[in-house]
A and B are shown apart, each in its own frame.
Chain A
Amino acid sequence: IVLTQSPGTLSLSPGERVTLSCRTSQSVRSTYLAWYQQKPGQAPRLLIYAASNRATGIPDRFSGSGSGTDFTLTISRLEPEDFAVYYCQQYGSSPLITFGQGTRLEIK
Chain B
Amino acid sequence: QVQLVESGGGLVKSGGSLRLSCAASGFTFSDYYMTWIRQAPGKGLEWVSSISGTGRSMYYADSVRGRFTIARDNAKSSLFLLINNLRAEDTAVYYCARDYGDYPPDIFDIWGQGTMVTVSS
State the A residues within 8 Å of B (CB).
Answer: 32, 34, 36, 38, 42-46, 49, 55-56, 87, 89, 91-92, 95-102
Contacts and interface: CB of A to CB of B under 8 A. Distances in A.
B106 A101 contact: no
A34 B111 CA distance: 15
B107 interface: yes
Contact of B107 (A38, A43, A46, A95): A46
Contacts of B105: 91, 96-97
B101 A49 contact: yes
Contacts, number: 61
Interface residues of B, number: 22
A12 B114 CA distance: 29
B45 A32 contact: no
B44 A87 contact: yes
Interface string B84-121: 00000000000100001101011111011110000000
B114 A96 contact: no
Contacts of B59: 96
24 contacts: A34-B107, A36-B45, A36-B108, A42-B113, A43-B95, A43-B112, A44-B45, A44-B95, A46-B108, A46-B109, A49-B101, A49-B106, A49-B107, A55-B100, A89-B45, A92-B103, A92-B106, A96-B47, A96-B59, A97-B47, A97-B105, A98-B47, A99-B44, A102-B44
A55 B109 contact: yes
B114 A43 contact: yes
Given A43-B113, A96-B50, A100-B44, A89 B107 contact: yes
